[in-house]
Structure 1
Amino acid sequence: MNILFTGVGRRIELIQAFRSAAETLRKDLKIYGADMTETAPALAYCDGTRIVTGMKEPRYVDELLTICKEDEIDLLIPTIDTDLLILSENKERFEEIGTRVMISEPDQVRIGRDKTLSARFLKKCGFFTPVTVDDWKEYKSGFPAFIKPRDGSSSIGAFKVQNAEELKIYAAHLENYIVQPFVSGIEYTIDVFCDWNGNPLSIVPRERLKVRDGEVLKTRIRMDKAILEEAEKICSAYRPCGAVSIQLIRDAEGTDWFIEINPRFGGGAPLSMRAGARSAESVLRLLDGEPAERYTVADGAIYSRFDQAVCIDPGKRTSVKGVIFDLDDTLYSEKEYVWSGYNEVSDFFGGGYTSELYHFFLNGKPAIDELMRETGHEEEKDEAVEVYRHHKPDLHLYDGVAELISELKSKNIRVGIITDGRPEGQRNKLEALGLYDMMDDIIITDELGGKQFRKPCDIAFRIMLTRWRLNPADVVYVGDNAAKDSQAPRQLGMRFLWFDNEEGLYRSEKQEGYNSISAIRDALIGGGDE
């Protein structure tokens, strides 16, 4: 399952929510992020990163279509307002290549993007909404007032004004604006998630306790009965697809004034997911054609957010105090392990099947299943699998690996391995390669508690850094999988060296890397940089 988030920017919590949902549901999810700039922090948390042109550029949609086709994207999720209408209008083009777009219909998006249309819609639904005009000269509703772009977002260009003279000045600096009376009271965001047909699966009102630049910093879950009923009524009329964020203000008299409808995941939507909304899980279930479930929400829960840095480019460093290696296709050829295993399986059945098994494997077929079916030994499949998993492999380190490890240790540089996989198989590989005697530390992630601890989970890296008592900036991770291996090190502030192994089993990403052990040696010891 492949999902592409556009305009991913700073939406790290949203990416993490989807990754957590995939782990909970045990779904194989690959997350792609697209952004205009390669320094967008959320890209460091994606399995695949794609740099695209500006959303207003004529070729923007064509670029996304190419990405979706090449990366076999199953679902595209826009995250920012400026993306919504153009993607909604081109939804059929994406569906033609097998990519669904989780976005409402164009008319619904226009209602959300145009604050004048939003006000009309909400009023038609029977809700209180501030009287809205699009010419400051026609404004007659008193002061203070609020002026903001008609199609704005994130409070950009939004101002509270105290009198007509201030209103005139601000209006002169905004091309397309609306003016409303300022409503004071308790601010709420309602995080709603609906199925493909607009039926709400979760509705979570949140009190906005503290806000910065339009995005919530501190929030309290308020499962208020009146607000829940109002949100149900809006959904019944609006029929959104996927996520929608509704803004309202409750005044001192208890009247709810509805301000905005945004047909996308709001910046604070992950907080509702933490409280029990589980919208990300619903997305994955819907994408697989499964029924989504409703969950109990932690009413009254308070969440406070904080800023955190992520290393995008470590720059040039001369100090390396620790080097952690991946194992498979980094220190030895995994194809050699596969051949060794099939040779053992072949011997189990009397010999002569190794090449046939390997041929099945190279053609992307389940080799043992195919052989069992072909030879009529289906009932012995489980035994054959056990033979493969527990065999003592005949393996050899890549040329230069033993020398590199020895040289690193001679310079008092710590060396270790973090590897994913079934513990018995990985231990047999390590033993066959003699790596237990070479390394200062080895972590097989599955031994920490299961597959959920595999990369890109950062727990194994945190453990090794703690054991070594080293600053992440002084440690390098070397791996062959540019997507999976790079995430945790970069998020923690480590350096990552990509071994562009042309013979690797899972080589797919196209980017600059190191194509030999000697090149990696020069980068680590010769003072080279990533």
Structure 2
Amino acid sequence: MKELHILFTGVGRRVELLQAFRQAALCLGKDLKIYGADVSNTAPALAYCDFSRIICGMREDHYILELIEICRKDRIDLVIPTIDTDLLVLAENKEKIEASGTKIMVSPLEKIRICRDKRKTSKLFDACGLHSPAPVDDWKAYKGGFPAFIKPRDGSSSINAFKVENVTELSVYAQQIENYIVQPFVSGEEYTIDIFCDFEGRMLSVVPRRRLAVRAGEVLKTQICMDRTIIREAKVLTEAFKPCGPLTVQMIRDEKSDRNYYIEINPRFGGGVPLSMKAGARSAETILKLLSHEKACCDMELADGAIYSRYEQSVCIDEGSAWGTKLIRQGSAGLSMTVSSLGIDRWKIKGVIFDLDDTLYPEKQYVRSGFQAVADFLEIKDAQKKLWSYFEKGLYAIDEFLKQIGREDLKAQCLEIYRAHKPKLELYQGVCELITELKNFGINTGMITDGRPEGQRNKIAALGLEDLMDDIIVTDELGGLQFRKPNDISFRIMQNRWRIPYEQLVYVGDNPAKDFQAARQLGMKTIWVAHRDGLYRK
């Protein structure tokens, strides 16, 4: 199964969107790695990415060069922009970015320009036979009556957008806002329409939502409203516009005439789109399927009438002197940690959860042991040494060795022997002492490890960890690959069993790329053990 790499630019606060893609990958059984790019290393959504990339501002001359370099190094399959200001520069450089082998979910340049200019947007609505408040760009020429609405011609997020009650107020705001437009104010229920199309502009889903409460242009409370008129009009608009990917449309149903007045278009995922996904719009799943060259999802059952309310949540980016991720550099001899040296007693820690491979024992021991089992089966002199040599070169050792001896027909048997063998393993020096000390302090000890259940259980038995640990979870036993870290379900299960607050739990692991993401998001402390001979050493 191909590992999919998606990069979200301007990721900022879009935590719910990332979670929607994680859930989609879980449902489809896809191996997804989420990359987030932002100008600030304190953007909260970065903590929910597998990998974070700090990039210069999109107005900088070298922004595109930096972005292309990130895409090249990280083998990004798809770039998904999340903010309006990114769209124009990405559309202008779409061919250059895609020439590097990365697709980008952004509509053609001329369509981005339509959306960025409120007057052009209004003309598009008119061309589709849809009602739109007629804009003028000179307050002195405005004849649409009051109240009126004044806003930047290329604005977003309701910034510098004001309702005015008379010509005097209008003249004052007109002096303060550059490049403005004035429109009649439409009073009524506000709607957002979340539309999703494939890369060629074919509509796959449309979800109208009533905006029950809004702050700074982003919805706080919303209700799914599968109104036939809105859906029909959205289809007309989409057929004319043909976006690449998402389209977020704002509309007001006039309380007097009951007409739908279309206000603006954002050709990106809106801030509230995860709510449409929760209601049944499978746009995140569709993207993963399209990247895997599978048929897109069209038949979607939506929760008409469902109401969603959003709330704020914090995530610790840097714990400073309080804790932070502790880095423990270890030699090949052992694990020189104690309760006191880790500050566990000071911070009232009540539970410590360990990773297994390269944290409690050297994983290379297991690899060597497995190669020896394969060598014994093949009965070929120096087979173990040759297998190890291929492994050190970064090759698929068993495949390469069988190819060399002309016995590729034995691959399935050799793999089964490797995976099922009873390994000869030893814990790092000091592990038993540390776990015993923790238990003497009344601290719960557990382990969360990824991998094939049979192989991981054989390792656990060989190391005698069942007698040492209070609790052990092999993530694959929960339901397959999708439950491996950074999925947080195993951490939630262990926390629920122990009934210890996340703030009083520590996770100890060797691979910061995947071990700490879930732990940090849940509020746990983390300790990075960097063994000199580990597979993930830096």
What TM-score, normalized to structure 2? 0.90
- Structure scoring higher RCO (CA < 8 A, sep ≥ 6) equals 2
Larger displacement relative to structure 2 (8-17 or 492-501):
492-501
Q: Secondary structure at the match of 1:219?
A: strand
2:318 aligned residue (297, 313, 317)? 313
Contact in 1 for aligned 2:247/2:269 (Cα 8 Å): yes
What code does the residue aligned with 1:308 have?
Q
**How far apart are residue 75 of structure 1 and its match?**
0.8
1:454 aligned residue (467, 479, 484)? 484
1:267 aligns with 2:274: no
Question: Take 1:190 and 1:184, find their aligned partners in 2: how far apart are those partners?
Answer: 18
What code does the residue aligned with 2:313 have?
Q
Give deviations 1:88-140, integer Å, cap 9, x for gaps.
11112211211111101111011111212211221222211101112222222
Pairing 1:4-403 to 2, within 5 Å after superposition: 4-252=7-255, 253-298=257-302, 299-315=304-320, 316-317=322-323, 318-319=346-347, 320-352=349-381, 353-403=383-433
Give deviations 1:327-377, integer Å, cap 9, x for gaps.
112122212211111110111122432122233333444333344444444
**How far apart are residue 384 of structure 1 and its match?**
2.3
Question: Take 1:295 and 1:333, find their aligned partners in 2: how far apart are those partners?
Answer: 49
**How far apart are residue 160 of structure 1 and its match?**
1.3
Contact in 1 for aligned 2:136/2:183 (Cα 8 Å): yes
**How far apart are residue 497 of structure 1 and its match?**
2.1
Contact in 2 for aligned 1:273/1:279 (Cα 8 Å): yes
**How far apart are residue 378 of structure 1 and its match?**
4.3
Contact in 2 for aligned 1:91/1:101 (Cα 8 Å): yes
- Match of 1:431? 461
**How far apart are residue 389 of structure 1 and its match?**
1.5
**How far apart are residue 311 of structure 1 and its match?**
2.3
1:415 aligned residue (437, 440, 445)? 445
Contact in 1 for aligned 2:29/2:481 (Cα 8 Å): no
Q: Secondary structure at the match of 2:239?
A: helix
Contact in 1 for aligned 2:357/2:363 (Cα 8 Å): yes
Contact in 1 for aligned 2:159/2:216 (Cα 8 Å): yes
Percent sequence identity is 61
Q: Secondary structure at the match of 1:500?
A: strand
Larger displacement relative to structure 2 (297-306 or 3-12):
297-306
Question: Take 1:207 and 1:178, find their aligned partners in 2: how far apart are those partners?
Answer: 25
- Match of 2:495? 465
Contact in 1 for aligned 2:30/2:482 (Cα 8 Å): no
1:488 aligns with 2:518: yes
What code does the residue aligned with 1:321 have?
K
Question: Take 2:60 and 2:291, find their aligned partners in 1: how far apart are those partners?
Answer: 30
What code does the residue aligned with 1:312 have?
I
What TM-score, normalized to structure 1? 0.91
Q: Secondary structure at the match of 1:499?
A: strand
**Which ranges in structure 1 are unaligned for 5 or more consecutive residues?**
509-530
Question: Take 1:62 and 1:379, find their aligned partners in 2: how far apart are those partners?
Answer: 47
Question: Take 1:75 and 1:501, find their aligned partners in 2: how far apart are those partners?
Answer: 34
Q: Secondary structure at the match of 1:485?
A: coil
Question: Take 2:474 and 2:375, find their aligned partners in 1: how far apart are those partners?
Answer: 28
- Aligned pair count? 508
Q: Secondary structure at the match of 1:198?
A: coil
**How far apart are residue 44 of structure 1 and its match?**
1.2
**How far apart are residue 145 of structure 1 and its match?**
1.1
Question: Take 1:457 and 1:322, find their aligned partners in 2: how far apart are those partners?
Answer: 20
Question: Take 2:117 and 2:430, find their aligned partners in 1: how far apart are those partners?
Answer: 62
- Match of 2:473? 443
Question: Take 2:60 and 2:37, find their aligned partners in 1: how far apart are those partners?
Answer: 15
**How far apart are residue 278 of structure 1 and its match?**
0.6
Give deviations 1:50-97, integer Å, cap 9, x for gaps.
112222222222221221111111111100001000011111221121
Contact in 1 for aligned 2:370/2:421 (Cα 8 Å): yes
**Which ranges in structure 2 are unaligned for 5 or more consecutive residues?**
324-345
- Match of 1:497? 527
